């Protein structure tokens, strides 16, 4: 079937109606940072805090997504770009469903993150830079990936033989090298409250 024969079908329940029912907005908190910076841990800690405040959220985690939706992708530059493109489209669906989406992906290229932002409406994309030095991430090495990369067992590993382009002007920065996970969660919660995006009980 040609793409020309595909027609968009409008939903019977709108994004605005879902937001009104949930009593909060829907948007993407896009966590970006090096492997080992704490993105997944932080994302899940934040999700738990939101859940306990009756805010609908869902975590899209890099490794988890590669177990299913993106299991056909590897770590070449083109596959990394496709990985983020797909996640952007999935995130857009979650935003349309009225949920807060928390993504935890290295997403090393600024261009790819910008393309995700362009998929969404104004104030629906919040870039959160999970800052942590390469030295510290390599010391942590929770999955043993840096060691494998240094031993040339893994190719195209971000920070070693593949670049990471840190955000130039992120909406929010948390530093997991100097802050605990709970301190970082509080910073994000405060940011969302100040932007009137959530009301935490």
Helix (H, G, I), strand (E, B) or coil at 50: helix
The answer to whether the annotation marks 162 as part of a ligand binding site is: no
Helix (H, G, I), strand (E, B) or coil at 67: coil
Residue 106 and residue 39: Cα distance in Å, rounded? 8
The answer to whether the annotation marks 37 as part of a ligand binding site is: yes
The answer to whether the annotation marks 133 as part of a ligand binding site is: no
- Closest listed residue to residue 188, CA positions, set 89, 72, 90, 57: 57
107 is catalytic: yes
**Which positions ≥6 away from 61 have C-beta within 8 Å?**
40, 43, 103, 104
Helix (H, G, I), strand (E, B) or coil at 157: coil
The answer to whether the annotation marks 40 as part of a ligand binding site is: yes
The answer to whether the annotation marks 195 as part of a ligand binding site is: no
- Of 47, 57, 91, 107, the active-site residue reads 107
- Closest listed residue to residue 30, CA positions, set 196, 188, 142: 188
The answer to whether the annotation marks 12 as part of a ligand binding site is: no
The answer to whether the annotation marks 34 as part of a ligand binding site is: yes
CA torsion through residues 180, 27, 125, 122, sign: negative
Tell me which residues are annotated as active site: 107
Binding residues for ATP: 33-40
Annotated binding residues: 33-40
């Amino acid at each position: 079937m040609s793409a020309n024969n595909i027609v968009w079908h409008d939903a019977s329940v709108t994004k605005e109606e879902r937001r009104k029912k949930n009593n909060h907005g829907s948007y993407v908190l896009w966590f970006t940072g090096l492997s080992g910076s704490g993105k997944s841990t932080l994302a899940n800690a934040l999700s738990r805090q939101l859940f306990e405040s009756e805010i609908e959220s869902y975590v899209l985690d890099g490794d988890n997504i590669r177990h299913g939706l993106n299991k056909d992708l590897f770590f070449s530059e083109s596959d990394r770009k496709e990985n983020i493109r797909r996640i952007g489209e999935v995130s857009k669906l979650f935003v349309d469903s009225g949920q807060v989406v928390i993504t935890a992906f290295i997403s090393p290229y600024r261009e790819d993150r910008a393309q995700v932002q362009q998929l969404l409406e104004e104030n629906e994309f919040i870039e959160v830079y999970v800052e942590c030095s390469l030295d510290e991430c390599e010391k942590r090495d929770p999955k043993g990936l840096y060691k494998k990369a240094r031993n040339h067992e893994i190719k195209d590993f971000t920070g070693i033989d593949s670049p990471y382009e840190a955000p130039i002007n992120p909406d929010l920065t948390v530093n997991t090298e100097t802050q605990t996970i709970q301190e970082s969660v509080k910073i994000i919660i405060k940011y969302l409250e100040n932007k009137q995006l959530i009301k935490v009980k």
